[in-house]
Amino acid sequence: MSRDAVAHNATFEEAFLARELQRAGINISPIPALCTLWLGRQAFATPNHKLSTIARAAGVPLVDKHAALGDVRAVAALLPQMTSKLRSPVRYAGGPMTWSHNSPAGQLPLVTRAVALRKGTDGWMQSLMARLPTTGLAPNDAAAEAYLDALAEVLSDGRITGDEAKVLARLAGTAGMGGEQVGALNKRFLDGIKVVALDDDVLTTAEIRQLKAAAKALALPDYFGELQPTAPPTPGRSDVGALGDPPGRSTMKARVQRGTRALAMQRAGSSRSDIADALGVSQDTVKSLLRDAKFYDNPPSDPSRLAFARDARRARDAGVTRDVFRNDRGVSAGKSFEAWRDAAMLADFF
């Protein structure tokens, strides 16, 4: 089977490849390679034969100039044009490639990069995913949680800035993710915030608008296209307690019960994976349940969250809606929902 390579200025590129393989404990002989710098000189009468010059002459877009993935894509598009301009087939000699392997001192992590991010017409996230390789590792739990946590922070205002896109790209690259893996995590995030929005069994027009804004920022503008606002349930006697419990509190209590069980399992030594299997939920949901359970078990352990819940309780008692509270405080839908839920669940604490 042939192991020949194609590269622009192949001798120069070979030195980088050999060095990277050495880091992995692999020593190789010179690699038989077709050099498109040499081939370009035969095929194009351009002032010089830089990759960018030849690409421009051939009408091939060169995105992310001097980035490995961008250059490879350009060379792949140019090669058929170059060979078609020659009068005879390309033949070149090369000895068989040999290699030896020595285990490196430690396992080397796979790292990917998304460079030269641009907002363009498709947005920062589309640019990020397009500039990552098409293959990559499935992120481990820690890497996935770090990315999802960062995404929650980034989208607290419903949009992604250039600097925020770079942060997300760095997290994805450090975990060795490709565009497909990032896209899958983005969908997990959207599914998670939908669950939060539906936790009280009511979906308002404002919540749908916020969900769709998040989906658009993540290059998935139609992800929530089917959502419709629900009519809030009419509270009856059994729905309202002595302190005026809001509709849906029974759902909130069920969530707290799951969190209490999750916390007990964790304290007994169960992993998040074990807890997720036992409760029939994702590990991201387990993380959220544990966070809430620890807070409800000891509210003063998180003074800022407790203070915000107290403010939400006062606002609700004064007849302020959750949407008005959110706008007045300038917080995200998720943050205001959490405060509203905390206010209901800690009614006896205040």
CATH number at residue 49: 3.30.420.10
- pLDDT of the residue at 195: 80
What is the distance in angstroms between the CA of the first residue and the CA of the last residue of the chain? 74
User: CA angle, corner 155, sides to 347 and 330, nearest 5?
Assistant: 50
Give the distance from CA 118 to its chain's centroid. Answer: 17
Q: How far apart are CA 27 and CA 268, in angstroms?
A: 49
- pLDDT of the residue at 336: 76
Task: Please report whether residue 92 resides in a domain.
Answer: yes
Clarify whether residues 87 and 136 are in a common domain: no
Nearest to 35 by CA among 105, 90, 104, 113: 90
The DSSP line for 114-157 is: --S---TTT-HHHHHHHHS-S--PPPPHHHHHHHHHHHHHHGGG
Task: Please report whether residue 222 resides in a domain.
Answer: no
6 touches 36 (CB < 8 A)? yes
Of 198, 217, 236, the one marking the end of a domain is 217
Clarify whether residues 9 and 84 are in a common domain: yes
Task: Please report whether residue 223 resides in a domain.
Answer: no
CA distances from 69 to 62, 74, 272 (A): 10, 9, 36
Q: How far apart are CA 55 and CA 159, in angstroms?
A: 35
pLDDT along the chain (350 residues), means of 10: 72 80 77 86 89 89 71 89 82 70 63 81 91 75 80 83 90 88 91 78 84 93 90 44 34 73 91 86 80 90 90 88 80 74 80
- pLDDT of the residue at 224: 93
Q: How far apart are CA 200 and CA 110, in angstroms?
A: 42
- Residues in Cβ contact with 69 at an 8 Å cutoff, skipping those fewer than 6 apart: 113, 131, 133
Give the distance from CA 100 to its chain's centroid. Answer: 37
Clarify whether residues 254 and 333 are in a common domain: yes
Q: How far apart are CA 171 and CA 184, in angstroms?
A: 15
Clarify whether residues 91 and 18 are in a common domain: yes
Task: Please report whether residue 112 resides in a domain.
Answer: no
Clarify whether residues 70 and 31 are in a common domain: yes
Task: Please report whether residue 37 resides in a domain.
Answer: yes
Clarify whether residues 139 and 207 are in a common domain: yes
Residue-range definition of the domain harbouring residue 149 = 124-217
Task: Please report whether residue 209 resides in a domain.
Answer: yes
Where b means 16+ CB within 10 Å and e means fewer, 263-289 reads bebbeeebebeebbeebebebbbbbbb
Where b means 16+ CB within 10 Å and e means fewer, 189-219 reads bbebbbebbebbebbbebbbebbbbbbbbbb
- Residues in Cβ contact with 309 at an 8 Å cutoff, skipping those fewer than 6 apart: 299, 339, 342, 343, 346
Clarify whether residues 53 and 131 are in a common domain: no
Q: Which amino acid is at 290?
A: L
- pLDDT of the residue at 16: 78
Burial (0-12, 13-18, 19+ Cβ within 10 Å), 49: buried
Q: How far apart are CA 36 and CA 39, in angstroms?
A: 5
Task: Please report whether residue 22 resides in a domain.
Answer: yes
283 touches 273 (CB < 8 A)? yes
In the chain, the number of structural domains is 3
Task: Please report whether residue 114 resides in a domain.
Answer: no
Clarify whether residues 183 and 263 are in a common domain: no
